């Protein structure tokens, strides 16, 4: 199937894109890498009247470290992040996660801004933003606003962005001393969207976590920052505490059934990921009551 007829405008700057979006409201759609937008249009799931192509806006590109902050422009493609020495040094969780996104052809075009704005609950990058405590920078005709990643994702394909706003950049705190990370996902095939996945960032001091952020994806209508992490911080993690956390995690998550996996299978996979994460980051031989 082909997309319904639409008008096309190539924005020359952020303010030009905002003028176009402001004038057309929800009849317009931003085009970034096109890897989610074009399939949706071709399947006629959406039929915008106007496409606002932001691909030529230079100010939306770039990766920069300033003091304790890493700033990533919305137009940076998955492949740019995968190859970036700044990302590898200051947010290595992202380097690891991006290798799991789709296939090279899609990573060559898809962008971080597009992935976050699209907000697929099974996507890797939204969960990484929660794990890394990112701030999403949004520009509208009234100026700039900054939204914590934890408040940005509001439902399946839903975010805090309005139709007349543009996601312009992401800011992340650079990885601190003693910072460690974990990334793993279960997918039918490498490159498929995950049935369940976990992106985690932690600070380890001695034998304990002083900070632990567990961001799950594929197990709810949006990425989930698991509250159960709090029970594993500043305490000795034993098989008993891990087993209790695993039970609490199962109660906290609200996964869905679909043709890929049942809700109970997703809940089980999430618990397996918890055990593997804690074992990898803290105790290689921790036994979580048979969940491995």
* Contact positions vs ligand FAD (CB under 6 A): 29-37, 39, 54, 74, 101-102, 106, 109-111, 113-115, 117-118, 123-125, 161, 166-167, 191, 193
Minimum separation from the CB atom of position 128 to ligand FAD (A): 10
CB 162 → ligand FAD: shortest distance, Å? Answer: 10
Residue closer to ligand FAD, measured from CB, 36 or 135:
36
Return the number of the residue (34 or 239) whose C-beta is nearest ligand FAD. Answer: 34
Question: How far apart are CB 210 and ligand FAD at their closest, in Å?
Answer: 30
Please choose, from the candidates 79, 69, 130, the residue with its C-alpha nearest in 3D space to the C-alpha of residue 103.
79
**Residue 194: CA count within 13 A, CB half-sphere:** 32
Where do the H-state alpha helices sit in the chain?
Answer: 14-24, 37-42, 78-83, 85-90, 92-98, 104-107, 112-118, 124-131, 149-152, 239-252, 263-281
Q: Are 90 and 52 in contact (CB under 8 A)?
A: no
What is 90-104 written as a DSSP string?
H-HHHHHHHTTSS-H
Q: With respect to ligand FAD, which residue has the nearer C-beta, 242 or 269?
A: 269
Beta bridge mates, 173: 69
Structure-token pair, residue 55: 């691909």
Of 197 and 242, nearer to ligand FAD (C-beta) is: 197
State the Cα–Cα distance between residues 239 and 7, nearest whole angstrom.
Answer: 59
Residue 31 or 200 having the CB closest to ligand FAD:
31
* Shortest separation between residue 17's beta carbon and ligand FAD, angstroms: 9
User: Min. distance of Cβ 278 from ligand FAD in angstroms?
Assistant: 25
């Amino acid at each position: 199937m082909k997309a319904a007829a639409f008008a096309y405008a190539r924005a020359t700057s952020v303010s030009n894109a905002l003028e176009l979006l402001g004038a057309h409201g929800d009849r317009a759609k931003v085009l970034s890498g096109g890897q989610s937008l074009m399939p949706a249009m071709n399947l006629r799931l959406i039929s915008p009247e106007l496409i606002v192509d932001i691909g030529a806006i230079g100010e939306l590109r770039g990766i920069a470290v300033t003091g304790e902050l890493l700033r990533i422009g919305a137009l940076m493609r998955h492949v740019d992040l995968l190859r970036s020495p700044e990302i590898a040094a200051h947010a290595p969780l992202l380097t690891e996660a991006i290798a799991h996104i789709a296939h090279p052809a899609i990573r060559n075009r898809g962008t971080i801004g597009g992935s976050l704005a699209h907000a697929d609950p099974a996507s890797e990058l939204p969960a990484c933003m929660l794990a890394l405590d990112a701030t999403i920078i949004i520009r509208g005709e009234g100026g700039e606003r900054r939204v914590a990643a934890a408040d940005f994702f509001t439902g399946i394909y839903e975010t805090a962005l309005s139709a007349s706003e543009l996601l312009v950049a992401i800011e992340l705190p650079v990885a601190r001393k003693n910072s460690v990370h974990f990334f793993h996902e279960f997918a039918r095939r490498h490159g498929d969207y995950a049935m369940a996945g976990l992106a985690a960032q932690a600070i380890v001091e001695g034998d304990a976590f002083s900070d632990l952020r567990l961001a799950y994806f594929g197990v709810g209508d949006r990425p989930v920052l698991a509250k159960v992490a709090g029970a594993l911080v500043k305490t000795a993690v034993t098989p008993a505490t891990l087993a209790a956390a695993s039970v609490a995690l199962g109660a906290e998550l609200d996964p869905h059934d679909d043709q890929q996996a049942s809700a109970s299978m997703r809940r089980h996979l999430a618990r397996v990921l918890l055990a593997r994460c804690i074992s990898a980051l803290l105790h290689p031989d921790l036994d979580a009551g048979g969940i491995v």
